[in-house]
Protein backbone atom coordinates (compact mmCIF):
# COMPACT_ATOMS: atom_id res chain seq x y z
CA UNK A 1 0.00 0.00 0.00
CA UNK A 2 2.82 2.36 1.03
CA UNK A 3 4.79 1.49 -2.12
CA UNK A 4 1.73 2.22 -4.28
CA UNK A 5 1.26 5.61 -2.59
CA UNK A 6 4.94 6.47 -3.25
CA UNK A 7 4.56 5.52 -6.92
CA UNK A 8 1.51 7.78 -7.29
CA UNK A 9 3.35 10.66 -5.57
CA UNK A 10 6.35 10.19 -7.91
CA UNK A 11 4.10 10.21 -10.98
CA UNK A 12 2.38 13.45 -9.94
CA UNK A 13 5.79 15.06 -9.23
CA UNK A 14 6.97 14.14 -12.74
CA UNK A 15 3.86 15.64 -14.25
CA UNK A 16 4.62 19.00 -12.60
CA UNK A 17 8.25 19.06 -13.73
CA UNK A 18 8.90 21.40 -16.72
CA UNK A 19 11.76 20.60 -19.02
CA UNK A 20 13.38 23.85 -20.32
CA UNK A 21 13.63 23.41 -24.09
CA UNK A 22 12.02 20.26 -25.23
CA UNK A 23 8.73 19.21 -23.87
CA UNK A 24 7.22 15.82 -24.40
CA UNK A 25 3.62 16.40 -25.24
CA UNK A 26 0.78 14.23 -24.19
CA UNK A 27 1.36 10.55 -23.97
CA UNK A 28 3.77 10.39 -26.92
CA UNK A 29 7.12 11.07 -25.25
CA UNK A 30 9.08 10.74 -28.50
CA UNK A 31 7.40 13.90 -29.93
CA UNK A 32 9.48 17.03 -29.20
CA UNK A 33 8.61 20.65 -29.79
CA UNK A 34 10.58 23.93 -29.51
CA UNK A 35 9.43 26.46 -26.95
CA UNK A 36 7.32 29.04 -28.81
CA UNK A 37 7.28 31.82 -26.21
CA UNK A 38 10.65 33.53 -27.01
CA UNK A 39 9.96 33.22 -30.73
CA UNK A 40 6.60 34.95 -30.36
CA UNK A 41 8.23 37.63 -28.18
CA UNK A 42 10.83 38.40 -30.85
CA UNK A 43 8.21 38.36 -33.60
CA UNK A 44 6.01 40.83 -31.77
CA UNK A 45 9.03 43.06 -31.14
CA UNK A 46 9.77 43.01 -34.89
CA UNK A 47 6.17 43.79 -35.72
CA UNK A 48 6.08 46.72 -33.30
CA UNK A 49 9.38 48.03 -34.65
CA UNK A 50 8.13 47.96 -38.25
CA UNK A 51 4.84 49.58 -37.26
CA UNK A 52 6.55 52.42 -35.41
CA UNK A 53 9.48 53.04 -37.74
CA UNK A 54 7.72 52.65 -41.09
CA UNK A 55 6.35 55.79 -42.72
CA UNK A 56 3.95 55.73 -45.61
CA UNK A 57 5.13 57.84 -48.52
CA UNK A 58 2.84 58.92 -51.36
CA UNK A 59 3.69 57.22 -54.65
CA UNK A 60 6.07 59.34 -56.71
CA UNK A 61 6.13 59.70 -60.47
CA UNK A 62 7.83 61.75 -63.15
CA UNK A 63 6.45 64.42 -65.47
CA UNK A 64 8.57 64.91 -68.60
CA UNK A 65 9.61 68.49 -69.41
CA UNK A 66 12.12 70.34 -71.56
CA UNK A 67 14.96 72.09 -69.78
CA UNK A 68 15.08 75.89 -69.88
CA UNK A 69 17.39 76.08 -72.85
CA UNK A 70 17.07 78.91 -75.30
CA UNK A 71 17.81 76.52 -78.15
CA UNK A 72 14.84 74.38 -77.20
CA UNK A 73 12.47 77.32 -77.16
CA UNK A 74 13.84 78.59 -80.49
CA UNK A 75 13.25 75.13 -81.95
CA UNK A 76 9.70 75.16 -80.66
CA UNK A 77 9.12 78.57 -82.23
CA UNK A 78 10.39 77.30 -85.55
CA UNK A 79 8.21 74.21 -85.47
CA UNK A 80 4.57 75.08 -86.01
CA UNK A 81 3.52 78.37 -84.56
CA UNK A 82 4.41 80.79 -81.83
CA UNK A 83 4.50 78.96 -78.50
CA UNK A 84 1.89 79.53 -75.85
CA UNK A 85 3.62 81.37 -73.04
CA UNK A 86 2.04 80.72 -69.69
CA UNK A 87 3.15 83.36 -67.19
CA UNK A 88 2.86 82.60 -63.49
CA UNK A 89 2.60 85.55 -61.13
CA UNK A 90 2.39 85.62 -57.37
CA UNK A 91 -0.76 87.36 -56.14
CA UNK A 92 -1.75 88.22 -52.60
CA UNK A 93 -3.17 84.85 -51.67
CA UNK A 94 -1.97 82.56 -54.42
CA UNK A 95 -0.69 82.36 -57.96
CA UNK A 96 -2.31 83.60 -61.18
CA UNK A 97 -1.77 81.84 -64.52
CA UNK A 98 -1.80 84.20 -67.52
CA UNK A 99 -1.74 83.21 -71.17
CA UNK A 100 0.13 85.55 -73.50
CA UNK A 101 -1.70 86.89 -76.53
CA UNK A 102 -5.14 85.93 -75.25
CA UNK A 103 -5.09 88.18 -72.22
CA UNK A 104 -6.69 85.46 -70.14
CA UNK A 105 -6.03 84.90 -66.49
CA UNK A 106 -6.86 81.95 -64.26
CA UNK A 107 -6.37 81.37 -60.57
CA UNK A 108 -7.08 77.68 -60.17
CA UNK A 109 -5.53 74.60 -61.82
CA UNK A 110 -8.94 73.41 -62.99
CA UNK A 111 -9.61 76.73 -64.79
CA UNK A 112 -6.14 76.57 -66.34
CA UNK A 113 -6.81 73.05 -67.60
CA UNK A 114 -10.13 74.07 -69.16
CA UNK A 115 -8.49 77.13 -70.76
CA UNK A 116 -5.65 75.05 -72.20
CA UNK A 117 -8.09 72.49 -73.61
CA UNK A 118 -10.05 75.29 -75.33
CA UNK A 119 -6.79 76.77 -76.65
CA UNK A 120 -5.64 73.43 -78.09
CA UNK A 121 -9.01 72.87 -79.77
CA UNK A 122 -8.98 76.35 -81.30
CA UNK A 123 -5.41 75.85 -82.60
CA UNK A 124 -6.28 72.37 -83.88
CA UNK A 125 -2.83 71.04 -83.01
CA UNK A 126 -1.08 69.52 -80.03
CA UNK A 127 2.35 70.27 -81.52
CA UNK A 128 2.34 73.90 -80.41
CA UNK A 129 4.88 74.37 -77.63
CA UNK A 130 3.76 75.50 -74.20
CA UNK A 131 6.38 77.50 -72.33
CA UNK A 132 5.79 77.94 -68.61
CA UNK A 133 7.28 81.23 -67.44
CA UNK A 134 7.16 81.50 -63.66
CA UNK A 135 8.08 84.51 -61.60
CA UNK A 136 11.00 84.26 -59.21
CA UNK A 137 8.79 84.08 -56.11
CA UNK A 138 6.34 81.48 -57.42
CA UNK A 139 6.41 78.25 -55.37
CA UNK A 140 7.67 75.17 -57.22
CA UNK A 141 4.34 73.46 -56.57
CA UNK A 142 2.59 75.93 -58.91
CA UNK A 143 5.24 75.49 -61.60
CA UNK A 144 4.70 71.72 -61.51
CA UNK A 145 0.94 72.36 -61.52
CA UNK A 146 1.20 74.44 -64.73
CA UNK A 147 3.41 71.85 -66.49
CA UNK A 148 1.08 69.08 -65.35
CA UNK A 149 -2.06 70.84 -66.62
CA UNK A 150 -0.42 71.49 -70.01
CA UNK A 151 0.46 67.79 -70.35
CA UNK A 152 -3.01 66.87 -69.08
CA UNK A 153 -4.47 69.07 -71.86
CA UNK A 154 -2.52 66.86 -74.32
CA UNK A 155 0.17 69.32 -75.35
CA UNK A 156 3.25 67.37 -76.37
CA UNK A 157 5.99 69.96 -76.06
CA UNK A 158 6.04 71.58 -72.64
CA UNK A 159 9.03 73.49 -71.35
CA UNK A 160 10.06 75.81 -68.56
CA UNK A 161 11.40 79.26 -69.36
CA UNK A 162 14.63 80.48 -67.71
CA UNK A 163 14.54 83.55 -65.48
CA UNK A 164 17.10 85.46 -67.53
CA UNK A 165 16.44 85.09 -71.26
**Residues binding other proteins (CB under 8 A):** 15, 25-27, 36, 39-40, 43-44, 46-47, 50-51, 54, 57-69, 72, 88, 109-110, 113, 134-141, 143-145, 147-149, 151-152, 160, 162-163
Q: Edge-to-edge strands of the sheet including 84-90? A: 104-106, 95-99, 84-90, 130-134, 158-160
Shortest CB 6 distance to other proteins, Å:
20
Task: Give the shortest CB-101-to-other proteins separation in angstroms.
Answer: 22
Closer residue to other proteins, CB minimum distance, 1 or 61: 61
Q: What is the DSSP letter of 28?
A: B
Check if the beta carbon of residue 88 is closer than 8 Å to that of residue 133. yes
Instruction: CB nearer to other proteins: give 58 or 124.
Output: 58
Cβ neighbours for 109, distance < 8 A, ≥ 6 positions apart:
145, 148, 149
Amino acid sequence: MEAMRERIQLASDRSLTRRPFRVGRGRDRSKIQPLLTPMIDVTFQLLLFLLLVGTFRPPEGQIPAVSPQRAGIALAQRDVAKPIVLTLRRTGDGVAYEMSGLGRRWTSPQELYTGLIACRESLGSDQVAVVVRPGQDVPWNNVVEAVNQAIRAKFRNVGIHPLSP
